Structure 1
Amino acid sequence: MTHETNNHYAIETRGVNLYYGNFRAVKDVDLQIVPQKITAIIGPSGCGKSTVLRSFNRMNDFVPSFRMEGEILFHGQNIYAEDVDPVMVRQRIGMVFQKPNPFPKSIYENVAWGARINGYKGNLDELVEQTLRDAALWDEVKDNLKKSGLSLSGGQQQRLCIARALAVKPEIILMDEPCSALDPIATLKIEELMRELSRQYTIIIVTHNMQQAARASDYTAFFTMDDDRAGLMVEYGETHQIFTNPRDQRTEDYITGRFG
C-alpha cells in the first residue's frame, strides 16, 4: 500500500510510538484500516492492543503519563494535531468497552443522551428506535424503554452500549474486547451485529479470542512484544491469509497455540 494518498483509508497510522512515561508501550506501528470492514487486533496480553485501539480516538489522553509520537490520520488529518478537538474525534470515532457500562438511566435515555448533549435537532423518538433497531435490540426492549438500562442482561447491555455509540452518528466504532464478559450465545449475537453494522461503519475490534477474530473480521493485525516489552505489529493482512498462510513464524506460533 502506498502512502501517496490516505483518504481511502478509514484510519492510517504512520510511525506511531506510544508511551506511558518513559516506557514505550507500542513501537513503530504503520497500519492502514480499510473502511466499512471489520479489523481485528490480536496478540498476547500486554502487547499494547488496547493502547493502540484507544489511541484511535484519543481515549489515552485521560492517562496523564501518556504521549504519542508519529501520526494517526483520519480523513487525511492527524487527529493529534494541536488544532484538533478530541471531543469531536470521539464523536466520529465511537468506543464500546470490555464490560457493558450503560448509564444508570432508562433504556431510552441511554440512547438519547449523547445525541441530546450534541445538540441533536431531529425527532429523538425516531432516533432512539432506529438506533436500537441498528443494534438489534429494539424488539427486545420496545415495550420497556422507561426501564433502567442496568436491568438488561449482559448481552443486551452491551448492545445498548453499541446503540449509544451509534446514536451520535460516528463513522468508526472501536470495540475493546466487547464479548469477553458475555456468554457464547450473547457473543454470537454481537458478532452478527458487527457484520451487519460493517455495511455502514468501519469496525476495529481488540479480541483475545482467536476464533472470534477468524469468524468475525475481514482483516487482522497481529501484535506481540519485543525484548523490551514494547508492543510490536508483526503482521497485518486479510484475516483468511493471516490464519491460513501467515508470513511470519511468530504469527504462526501464536495462532497455532505454541505461545501466548
Structure 2
Amino acid sequence: MTSRLQSARQTDSIFRTEDLNIYYGNFLAVRDLSIDIAKNSITAFIGPSGCGKSTVLRCFNRLNDLIKSFHIEGKIYYHDQDLYASEVDPVEVRRQVGMVFQKPNPFPKSIYDNIAFGPRLLGYKGDMDELVEQSLKQAALWDDVKDKLKAFGTDLSGGQQQRLCIARAVAVQPDVILMDEPCSALDPISTLKVEDLLQELKEKYTILIVTHNMQQASRASDYTAFFNVEANSKGQRTGYVVEYERTEAIFQSPKQQATQEYVSGRFG
C-alpha cells in the first residue's frame, strides 16, 4: 500500500467517472455522471447556476473532502486508479491536480515568493531562480515582472494577479490544472490573454475550466460538457450532464434541444 498516487499510464483519458453521484449529507448535488476527460486538452463545463459544475470540478482534486457532509457514490479514476481509494493521499492528489480560483488570490508575499512557496513546501532541490523564471514564462508574465520580483503579488493588476496564480500552480509541476471561473473578475483584454495562455499550457497540462461565458467556452475549449439542473418535489436542485461532446459539436450541432437553447442564450 502506498500513500502516493501510482505512476501515470499513458492513456487517452486522464480522468474517468463512472455512475458518479455527489452528495452533501442526504442531498444529491449531481447525479449519474459518466464522462472521460482527454489528456492535453481543455474541457469546459458550462450550464446554469446551481447545476454542480464547480462541485464536479472540485471532486477531481478532492477539495470537496474538506466539507464534512460530502460523499460520493460511483467512481472517479485518475490514470485508471481509483481517486478515492483509501490508500490515496488527498494532499498528493492536490499536488498533481492544481487549482486556479475565480478571484485571483496571490499570497501577501513577493512575486518571487508566491512562485517559490509550493516548491519549497515540497522540498524542491533544483535551481529556484530558474524554476520561478520558467513558471512565470509559462504564465506569460515574465516580461511584465522580471524587474520587480521583490514587489508584492497583490500590487499587480487583476489580470496579472490571475496569471501569477497560474504560474504558482504550474511551479509545482502538476499533471492537471483545474480553473473555476478564472476570468470572471477580469476585463476583456485580460480574459483574452488568459485564453491565449491556456492554448499554450495544454501542450504540457490537461485543463478543466468552469465558465459561464459561452464565447469563452467556444473559443478556448476542445470539449464541452453542458450541465443542467432539475428540482425534486422538495425544491432541491440536482445537476446532471445533458450533453458532452467536442466543443464545435456542442455549439454548432448539439443533439439535445436543451443544449441548443442554452448555448443560443434562450435559457439559463
Scaled to the shorter chain, the TM-score interval is over 0.9
RMSD: 1.1
1:233 matches 2:237: no
Number of equivalences: 256
How far apart are 1:20 and its partner, in Å?
A: 1.0
Change (3 A) 1:128 1:40: same
Secondary structure of the structure 2 residue equivalent to 1:258: coil
2:265 to 228, 246, 257: 257
How far apart are 1:75 and its partner, in Å?
A: 1.0
Measured in 1, the distance between the counterparts of 2:157 and 2:242 equals 37
TM-score (norm. length: structure 2): 0.94
Aligned to 2:94: 90
1:243 matches 2:251: yes
Secondary structure of the structure 2 residue equivalent to 1:102: coil
Measured in 2, the distance between the counterparts of 1:164 and 1:85 equals 21
Q: Gaps (5+ residues) in structure 2? A: 1-8
2:192 to 146, 167, 188: 188
| CA offset digits 1:154-212 (Å, max 9, x no partner) | 00000000000000100110000000000000000000000110111100000000000
Aligned to 1:124: 128
Fraction of identical pairs, as percent? 63
How far apart are 1:227 and its partner, in Å?
A: 3.2
Aligned to 1:115: 119
| Regions of 4+ moved over 4 Å | none
Secondary structure of the structure 2 residue equivalent to 1:226: strand
How far apart are 1:253 and its partner, in Å?
A: 1.1
Amino acid at match of 1:93: V
How far apart are 1:6 and its partner, in Å?
A: 9.3
TM-score (norm. length: structure 1): 0.97
Aligned to 1:29: 33
Secondary structure of the structure 2 residue equivalent to 1:27: strand
Secondary structure of the structure 1 residue equivalent to 2:163: helix
Measured in 1, the distance between the counterparts of 2:159 and 2:260 equals 32
Measured in 2, the distance between the counterparts of 1:24 and 1:258 equals 27
Aligned to 2:18: 14
How far apart are 1:226 and its partner, in Å?
A: 2.1
Secondary structure of the structure 2 residue equivalent to 1:17: strand
